[in-house]
Amino acid sequence: MWATFAIIAMAMVGFALERVSIELTALATVIALMALFHFFPFAGEAGKLVSPETLLAGFANPALLTVLALLVVGQGLFQTGAVDGVTRKLGNKANLRPRTTIAVLLVVAGALSAFMNNTPLVVIMLPVLAAIGSRARIASSRFMMPLSFVAILGGSMTLIGSSTNLLVAGVAREMGMDPIGFFEITPIALPLVAVGLVYVLLVMPNMLTPRASLVQELAGSDGAGRQFVVRITLDESHALVGAQSAAGLFAQLKGMTVLMIQRGPRNILPPFEDTVLAPGDTVIVAATRQVLTEAMRNNKQKIINPDQLSDEEALPFVSDHVVLAEAVVAPGSRLVGRAVEAAALSATTGCFVLGFQRQSRMTRVRIGDIRLEAGDVLLIGGQREDISRLRLNRDVILLEWSAVEVPINNRAGWAIFIFALTVALAATEVLSLVLSALAGSLAMIATGCLNVRQAARAVDRRIYLLVGSSLAMAAALEATGGAEFVAHSIVSSFSGAPTLVLLSVLFLTVAAFTNILSNNATAVLFTPIAVTAALELGASVHTFVMTVILAANCSFATPIGYQTNLLVMAPGHYRFVDFLRAGVPLVLLLWLTFTLTAPMYLAM
């Protein structure tokens, strides 16, 4: 038991300091536990030896597989741009105040989590908040963890708000306690939820380090500020035909600056006064990579369409997904001095040039007359295999970190249908949550919303190893009696103290364990102890059981405490220490709030 405690303590220190990667610490922890029980065999209460199978069972845990599958489903929504319309409407209704919109959505998520399962709710909100934050250039680390926390807080308010609540009520009922009412926990939970919301919405975002992904860091927030020049040729059926300028702007080209309109031998320059676009026009625009990507995703308007960007006869697309990447024209390149059209990259590489950018100036000459120079940045599209082959091309230097897949054929409808069906089947319990999530992830790939490579990238190996190792620690604690030993020691140490003191100690103990084990394991462990302690003291059993419910829901200090924490870990680019920094103060705050408000319920 004490050896198990030592291994767990070293694992927690390793996770917090991150001197080595989380994956390496997790793997080392599992190996240490396996070695311990190999060289010193130990049989649990049932007389069964703790085996490698026991310690490794966590890696096939249904909750873990559910989280990984839901990450794939959420990536399908994001990859197809299925939430773009929703985020645009939310942004317009909120008068383009994204921070206010995010705060309102967090409060709504907290309220809804009292009446539905937290996990599918967080899956619903994740892509919406991510898209709003991306549009407003707000780091996802500012609101992803708050989303998980408000869902946990809201879930503590009613009997069905969390699986933990139902589990505690079931164990207590088996021990002879009267059934817990639907809203019986609400009065004692409300002060904690109110204080927690104030902390999460006003204090916590300032404690979280703005952290972008590696691609965003290298690209400078998705290429913000870098303007690419793009040519859009209008045929008879193009969506821009008939568009009329108003106050010098074209509403259909939102986020783009029109530099020039080529109409036959005539160049129309700004300002554009009541100019109407006609078939045969070539519109030269400047836009950021993010704006161009969104325009390509919008298959309904077809404003930016790769097969309209070049005079070359054919573009070799055989895939629903195009990879966009940036490449620099190399010194001594054969492209230097040649026009963009004459470069004929499609014929030699299978890629097309979507746009180009010149650091020194923004040009307004006819695009066919522009001659490439060394150092020009080209925005190139093509299949992943073709983009990869550019590494061997001596004419351009591929910036590999900039490669991002963009769906050209719209699968947003399929993605929304699959997501809604996945949530509905799980919420109505027609299928189990793990079966619904796995089926949904498979459907995302089968319908082309994601390819296998994109789905694989959505699965975070840190989450897999972190959860697997934590479940191994929990199994070792349970087998050796370590968790029960700590719980009984604390309760017996304070058995002669006033009831309020015992409740406060019980709350803090359960809150600590729920972040080391899991909320459900902690609830099952401490409910019988709380009931027994209440009966020995002659106190209200209901009050002690409510204490366990509230404390077991304080899964804020580690990502392994609750599965919604794991869901937001990858999108928010969090580290283990981020949960300690933001979660520990919240746990302590809720503990103090409970200690101050508990006397009101003791008197009832």
3-state secondary structure 197-209: HHHHHHHHHHHCC
pLDDT at 477: 79
Using H for helix, E for strand and C for coil, what is the string for 352-419? EEEEEECCCCCCCCCHHHCECCCCCEEEEEECHHHHHHHHHCCCEEEEEEEEEEEECCCCHHHHHHHH
The structure tokens listed for 336 are 């230097």
- Whole-angstrom distance, CA of residue 408 vs CA of residue 350: 16
The first and second tokens of residue 114, run together, are 């009292």
| DSSP string for residues in 547-589 | HHHHHHT---SSTTS-HHHHHHHTTTT--HHHHHHHHHHHHHH
Backbone angles phi, psi at 286, to 5 degrees: -120, 130
More confident residue, 533 or 416: 416
Which domains occur in the chain, in start order? 2-214+460-602 (no CATH), 219-407 (3.30.70.1450)
> Which is nearest to 292 in space by CA: 279, 305, 310, 307?
305
Which tokens in the block code for residue 360? 């020194």
Question: For residue range 253-306, what is the model confidence (pLDDT) as tens digits?
Answer: 877 888 888 888 888 888 888 889 999 888 888 888 777 877 776 655 556 655
Q: Is the pTM of this model over 0.85?
A: no
Close Cβ partners of 500 (under 8 Å, ≥ 6 residues apart): 595, 598, 599, 602
pLDDT at 439 over 90: yes
Least confident window among 307-316, 461-470, 537-546: 307-316
| Antiparallel, parallel or unpaired: β 321-329 and 377-382 | antiparallel
pLDDT of residue 221: 41
| pLDDT class of 218 with cuts at 50, 70, 90 | very low
Cα separations (Å) of 540 from 186, 550, 552?
A: 17, 16, 19
The residues with which 321 forms a beta bridge, in sequence order, are 407
Phi first, then psi, for residue 417 (nearest 5°) are: -60, -45
pLDDT of residue 480: 86
- Residue 35 CA to its chain's centroid (Å): 35
Distance of alpha carbon 204 from alpha carbon 584, whole angstroms: 11
CB-CB neighbours of 434 under 10 Å? 18
Per DSSP, which regions of 246-305 are E strands? Answer: 257-263, 266-268, 282-288
Angle at 487 between CA 494 and CA 526, to 5 degrees: 110
Q: Residues 553-590: pLDDT tens digits?
A: 999 998 877 878 888 887 888 888 899 999 999 999 99
- What count of residues does the chain have? 604
**449 φ, ψ (degrees, to nearest 5):** -65, -30
| CA-based R_g, the chain, Å | 29
CA distance 485 to 194: 34
Amino acid at 343: A
Kindly state the average pLDDT of the residues 191-205: 94
Report the chain's mean pLDDT, rounded to a whole number: 80
Question: Does the pLDDT value for residue 17 go beyond 90?
Answer: no
pLDDT at 517 over 80: no
CB 528 within 8 A of CB 171: yes
pLDDT(512) > 60: yes
Q: What are the b/e assignments for 144-154, b being 16+ CB within 10 Å?
A: bbbbbbbbbbb
Say if residue 592's pLDDT is above 70.
yes
331-338 LR contacts (CB < 8 Å, sep 24+): 331/374, 331/375, 332/374, 333/372, 333/374, 333/394, 333/395, 333/396, 334/395, 335/372, 335/395, 335/396, 336/371, 336/372, 336/373, 336/374, 337/371, 337/372, 338/371, 338/372
Count Cβ atoms within 10 A of the Cβ of residue 239 and give its class: 0-12 exposed, 13-18 middle, 19 or more buried: middle
Strands 282-288, 352-357: pairing kind = unpaired
As a whole number, mean pLDDT of residues 3-32 equals 86
End-to-end CA distance of the chain: 41
pLDDT higher than threshold 50 for residue 219: no
Q: Rounded mean pLDDT of 396-406?
A: 73
Cβ contacts of 94 within 8 Å, gap of 6 or more:
100, 101, 104
Q: Is 179 helix (H, G, I), strand (E, B) or coil?
A: coil
Q: What are phi and psi of 268, to 5 degrees?
A: -100, 120
Q: Count, in order, helices (H) and strands (E) of the chain.
A: 25, 8
Which range in 79-83, 189-193, 321-325, 565-569 is most confidently predicted, on average pLDDT?
189-193
How would DSSP label each residue in 311-357?
A: SSS-----SSEEEEEEEEEPTT-TTTTSBTTTT-HHHHHS-EEEEEE
Check whether 338 has a pLDDT greater than 80. yes
Q: At 510, which amino acid appears?
A: V
Higher-confidence residue of 604 and 438: namely 438
The CA distance from 369 to 260, in Å, is 14
Range scoring the smallest mean pLDDT among 56-70, 308-322, 542-556: 308-322
- What average pLDDT does the segment 509-530 reach? 80
DSSP SS3 for 284: strand
Q: Give yes or no for residue 550 having a pLDDT over 90.
A: yes
* Helix, strand, coil percent content, the chain, rounded in steps of 5: 60, 10, 30
The residue type found at 393 is N
Q: Which residue has the higher pLDDT, 583 or 382?
A: 583
Q: Which one, of 52, 64, 6, 134, lies nearest residue 462 by Cα?
A: 64
Is the confidence at residue 454, as pLDDT, over 70? yes
Buried b (16+ CB within 10 A) or exposed e, 370-385: bebbeebbbbbbbbbe
pLDDT at 476: 85
